Amino acid sequence: MIIDLISDTVTKPTPGMLQAMMHAQVGDDVFSMDPTVNALQKKVAAMFGMEDALFFPSGTMANQAAIKIHTQPGDLLFCDKYAHVYNYESGGAAFHSGVTCRLIDGSRGMFSAAQLEEASSGSPQIYLPYARLVCIENTTNKGGGACWDFSELEKIEKITREKNLAFHLDGARLFNALVAKNETPQQYGQLFDTISICFSKGLGAPVGSMLLGSKEHIHKALRIRKLYGGGMRQVGFLASACDYALDHHVERLAEDHQKAKEIGAVLKTVSYVTKVETIETNIVIFYVDTAIGDDNFIKRMKDQKILLTPMGEGKIRIVTHLDYTNEMHAILLDALRNFQ
Ligand SMILES: *Cc1c(COP(=O)(O)O)cnc(C)c1O
């Protein structure tokens, strides 16, 4: 048995999900003729109280389409130094949109309204790029699954309105934040111009993301998705997996969060761990003694069929998910306690 904690993307469809996929009604989605995709787009838009939504093959493509919608080449976007859109999307903001990222030095992937105010201060000058967009991520990936304080997001939204900046949420793991903080999709729908969500992370679908926004934004996104090669045909088979995930796999995220906290509690008791970051959702980030070394620790866990991932700067990441069972959890906790 392999205990794969590399990411919450490693899950396989459950029997119930496969059943739903087998019975999906499908059509050609490039012509907007797939009834399952159309229904899912409508359902998610309504869930967030936003006008429209568009199904995407990946979160990366949904985020990059959002950046494209809000900017022109030469423009500037603000994001945290840990942001996925900056670090882990292959330089897409520069490649697809010709946009510069101004990185804000936040904490665990989150910055304050005051930091944004400061970063965006000053009057426009001919030698400065046009600031157009603020991107935030909830939960934060590189920040260890941290959740934003909603009142800080409201302050940030106010700044974006005052300064005429668009506001995009990379919500690849937004449902983890909603469950952890007892928040609603509508709260987020009211705050942001565009939101991307992923069904392929904690929700356990094999493929699928969605971009939400106004009718005008989503109309633009439809063309950009085609331009990026993301127009798909009978993709209702995948959309039905995502629909199933929304109906069955949201509330259970609390179990992943609980297991992550239990892993963190064990890591705090063992002498070879030097630091465990605050655990709010399904991501655990910790550091081991430099005498052991992160790469060596990961290799020795791999020898025990436990897969973890390095996150740079000595960080080691564990992500709990739908396919991480109670049995695996017991084995992992023992392995962590007995490591020497
Ligand atoms: C995973 C992830 C994405 C999108 O990833 P894809 O693999 O392209 O679906 C975007 N943002 C964050 C924060 C992520 O963790």
Cα separations in angstroms, 9 against 28, 143, 205, 206, 331: 27, 17, 9, 8, 21
pLDDT, residue 217, reads 98
Q: How far is the CA of 281 from the centre of ligand 1 (A)?
A: 16
Q: How many CB atoms lie within 10 A of CB 264?
A: 18
The CATH architecture to which 15-248 belongs is: 3-Layer(aba) Sandwich (3.40)
Write out pLDDT tens, residues 93-127: 999 999 999 999 999 999 999 999 999 998 889 99
Q: How far is the CA of 57 from the centre of ligand 1 (A)?
A: 11
pLDDT, residue 340, reads 85
Burial degree of 338 (CB within 10 A; 0-12, 13-18, 19+): exposed
Give the integer Cα–Cα distance in Å for 218 and 48: 14
Specify the ligand 1 atom closest to the Cα of 61.
8
Same fold for the pair 3-8+251-337 and 15-248: no
- pTM for the structure as a whole: 0.97
The CATH architecture to which 3-8+251-337 belongs is: Alpha-Beta Complex (3.90)
Give the integer Cα–Cα distance in Å for 236 and 231: 13
Low-confidence ranges of the chain (pLDDT < 70): none
Give the integer Cα–Cα distance in Å for 184 and 177: 10
Q: How far is the CA of 59 from the centre of ligand 1 (A)?
A: 5
**Is residue 209 within 6 Å of ligand 1 at its C-beta?**
yes
Write out pLDDT tens, residues 20-69: 999 999 999 999 999 999 999 999 999 999 999 999 999 999 999 999 99
Give the integer Cα–Cα distance in Å for 16 and 305: 28
* Amino acid at site 250: V
Residue of 212, 180, 205 whose CA lies nearest to 43: 212
Give the integer Cα–Cα distance in Å for 20 and 198: 18
Mutate to test the pocket of ligand 1, among 6, 55, 81, 84 (most ligand atoms within 8 A of CB): 84
Cβ neighbors of 27 (< 8 A, separation 6 or more) are 33, 34, 35, 234, 236
Q: Where are the domains of the chain?
A: 3-8+251-337, 15-248
CA 300, distance to chain mean position in Å, is 29
Give the integer Cα–Cα distance in Å for 297 and 232: 42
Give the integer Cα–Cα distance in Å for 148 and 36: 33
